[in-house]
Structure 1
Amino acid sequence: MELSLKISRAKNRKPHKNWKDRIFDISVYGIAILMMVLIIYPLWFIIIASFSNPADVANGNVWLWPKEWKLDGYIELMKQEQIWRGYLNTIIYTIVGTLIALAVNIPAGYALSRKDLFGRKWLSIIFIIPMFIGGGLVPTYLVVKDFGLLDTFWVMVLPFSVSCYNIIVARTFFNNSIPEGLWEAAQVDGCGTIRYFFTMILPLSKAILAVIGLWTAVGIWNSWFNALIYISNENLQPLQLILRRILISNQSLLGTASGDLAAELRRLSEMMKYAAIVISTVPIMCLYPFLQKYFNQGVMIGSLKE
């Protein structure tokens, strides 16, 4: 009995660390905490600056907490009716665009992963070339115009739904995660290619679906340049472009004002700038905690070679 107790205590006893191991642990934890602060603090500063007096921010009086709470920036932004329309447009663009991107890129990546695909090597090269060589803005604009997509809802979700990088990442995932024997077993049971893809491949591909979906959603949510080039109808413009236009118009008003009016406009402009950053980033940031593990896995997937 005493012998068994001694053995159990010996197993539960933590190994003694010498001073070198302790210094190493302290260094690792210190670097990790420093990196965490460097990442979190700028985000926190933007949030508290959006509730602070711009004069306090400019003078360096705001560090961890606002000296006085002010909601003027958010109130002025909420008065803009186009903000809500832009929010709705961006949400619709993000949802529809992500679904279309998944419907296009995932099957393409799976097809390229099949070793029995005719011309697989050359097709892979065709997908890789656009990752390094683009057609340019003017030819792309002409193509979009010829297809009649200018100033339409679909210009934000269709022309740029194909991502060669996402296709290559999906191909790498299927090559390294789906065993070839699974297809052979499915064939024995009389399963065809399409049924095999939908009933067996997709349920086993939740990680890559989440990764590519997250990448696409973030890209569409933050996109404003495509809307600037291809959309002139204000009712179709996304949130990012509307916020940009509001901030630019405020800067224009500053140039025409003077005295106390100019000071007030400058104060509101600064507060609206920080509030716009918070409004446009908080929704997509709330999505990250739920898909973080898949996002990290996707980064590792993209680093693997076939």
Structure 2
Amino acid sequence: MHSRHDTLGERVFDVANYLFLTIFACVTVLPFVYIVAGSFTTEAELAARDFFIIPKDYSIAAYQYIFSSSTIFRSIGVSIFITVVGTITNLAFTLTMAYSLSRKDLMGRNTIMNLVIFSMLFSGGMIPTYLVVKELGMIDSYAAVILPGAISAFNLIVIKNFFQNLPPGLEESARIDGCTELGVLWRIVLPLSKPIIATFGLFYAVGHWNNFFSALLYLNDHLKWPLQVVLREMVMLSQLAVGDMSNMDPNFVRPPDQAVKMAVIVVGTVPILMLYPFLQKHFAKGMLLGSIKG
């Protein structure tokens, strides 16, 4: 039996491939490392050094400024609520509709699919969407942030293709045993779909966590603002002391504007990054499962 690497060309290719991927990974990671380092330093160092990954003068003034008000903690709770409820809503609507459209005996299946594809190419736009949300009485409620984007047409098509590729014998056996369509979905299809559920669940969760425009558009009560909107306001109004300066030490020095921006990126990014390790084993597999139609 021949070795897997039995030619010089294959070994050279492997070395070049690993080298390229390492360089690409560094190019991807280093900017974020710089952001983290910059959030823990002073204005003087940020002005003096163009790039660094280890600050010389450590300072947590930017984080003291961000967390100086209880508003930030309330907004984190709001963001977690919107992300969890929104992701569950997205998955529930997308999975049930995708499973229905994957059934070849569904009446009007092609017409519905054409409408789904049409929605990918054309949309009403911001103003008509706002008017619909307003007429439904959802202004200043979390439903306005969650329900208008409850189903992603692209995700729906990918998941539908995945469902169509499942062995039909499993579903037929379940029906012979007395399972209803909902029972087949819950007992057979979903347990086999963990990779794709984890993948698109992560996509939906990241979308909800990073979304600030919908909240800015539909939520008038600042107490209902999620983290991204509050952080945006802190960056825009940092000169006006958005943080509660009265609760801070009298000797507190106002943090540099650039460090505040970097700290805002860290605070807004790290929580959602913590989800990835729990979904990593399913993520790579789920990215490909629904993309190939058998």
Which residue of the partner structure matches residue 201 of structure 2? Answer: 213
CA apart distance, 1:238: 0.5
Which residue of the partner structure matches residue 288 of structure 1? Answer: 276
- Report the AA paired with residue 184 of structure 1: E
CA apart distance, 1:170: 1.1
Measure the CA separation in 2 of the matches of 1:179 and 1:142.
44
Pair 40,175 (structure 1): closer, same or farther in 2 beyond 3 Å: same
CA apart distance, 1:68: 1.5
What is the CA deviation profile of residues 36-88 of structure 1, one whole-angstrom value per residue up to 9, with x for unaligned ones? Answer: 10111111111111111233223326422111111000011110221111101
Measure the CA separation in 2 of the matches of 1:61 and 1:207.
42
Measure the CA separation in 2 of the matches of 1:82 and 1:212.
31
Measure the CA separation in 2 of the matches of 1:66 and 1:195.
57
CA apart distance, 1:273: 0.9
User: Is the 1:46–1:278 contact (alpha carbons within 8 Å) kept by the matching residues of 2?
Assistant: yes
Measure the CA separation in 1 of the matches of 2:81 and 2:230.
15
Aligned residue among 225, 246, 252 for 1:237: 225
Kindly indicate whether residue 164 of structure 2 is the aligned counterpart of residue 175 of structure 1: yes
Q: Specify every segment of 5 or more residues in structure 1 that has no aligned partner in the other structure, as ranges.
A: 1-10, 254-263
- Report the AA paired with residue 141 of structure 1: Y
What is the CA deviation profile of residues 191-229 of structure 1, one whole-angstrom value per residue up to 9, with x for unaligned ones? Answer: 221211111111111112111211110000000000111
State how 1:136-285 maps to structure 2 within 5 Å. 136-176=125-165, 178-251=166-239, 267-285=255-273
Which residue of the partner structure matches residue 27 of structure 2? Answer: 38
Pair 303,82 (structure 1): closer, same or farther in 2 beyond 3 Å: same
SS of alignment partner, residue 205 of structure 1:
helix
What is the CA deviation profile of residues 225-284 of structure 1, one whole-angstrom value per residue up to 9, with x for unaligned ones? Answer: 00111111011100000010111112567xxxxxxxxxx75x532221111110110011
SS of alignment partner, residue 44 of structure 2:
helix
CA apart distance, 1:108: 0.4
Which shifted more, 225-234 or 284-293? 284-293
Runs (4 or more) in structure 1 with deviation over 3 Å come to 13-22
| Matched length | 283
Which shifted more, 135-144 or 160-169? 160-169
What is the CA deviation profile of residues 156-196 of structure 1, one whole-angstrom value per residue up to 9, with x for unaligned ones? Answer: 222221221121111011012x1112222222222221211
User: Is the 2:97–2:156 contact (alpha carbons within 8 Å) kept by the matching residues of 1?
Assistant: yes
TM-score scaled by structure 2? 0.90
Which residue of the partner structure matches residue 111 of structure 1? Answer: 100
Higher helix share: 1
Kindly indicate whether residue 288 of structure 2 is the aligned counterpart of residue 300 of structure 1: yes
Q: What is the alpha-carbon root mean square deviation over aligned residues? A: 2.0
- Report the AA paired with residue 215 of structure 1: F
User: Is the 2:212–2:229 contact (alpha carbons within 8 Å) kept by the matching residues of 1?
Assistant: yes
User: Is the 1:56–1:62 contact (alpha carbons within 8 Å) kept by the matching residues of 2?
Assistant: no
Pair 141,16 (structure 1): closer, same or farther in 2 beyond 3 Å: closer
What is the CA deviation profile of residues 98-134 of structure 1, one whole-angstrom value per residue up to 9, with x for unaligned ones? Answer: 1111111101001111111111111111111111111
User: Is the 2:161–2:291 contact (alpha carbons within 8 Å) kept by the matching residues of 1?
Assistant: no
- Report the AA paired with residue 203 of structure 2: W
Measure the CA separation in 2 of the matches of 1:186 and 1:61.
63
Q: Specify every segment of 5 or more residues in structure 2 that has no aligned partner in the other structure, as ranges.
A: 242-252
- Report the AA paired with residue 133 of structure 1: F
Measure the CA separation in 2 of the matches of 1:60 and 1:305.
51
User: Is the 2:144–2:218 contact (alpha carbons within 8 Å) kept by the matching residues of 1?
Assistant: yes
State how 1:52-91 maps to structure 2 within 5 Å. 52-60=41-49, 62-91=51-80
Measure the CA separation in 2 of the matches of 1:193 and 1:18.
54
User: Is the 1:61–1:67 contact (alpha carbons within 8 Å) kept by the matching residues of 2?
Assistant: no
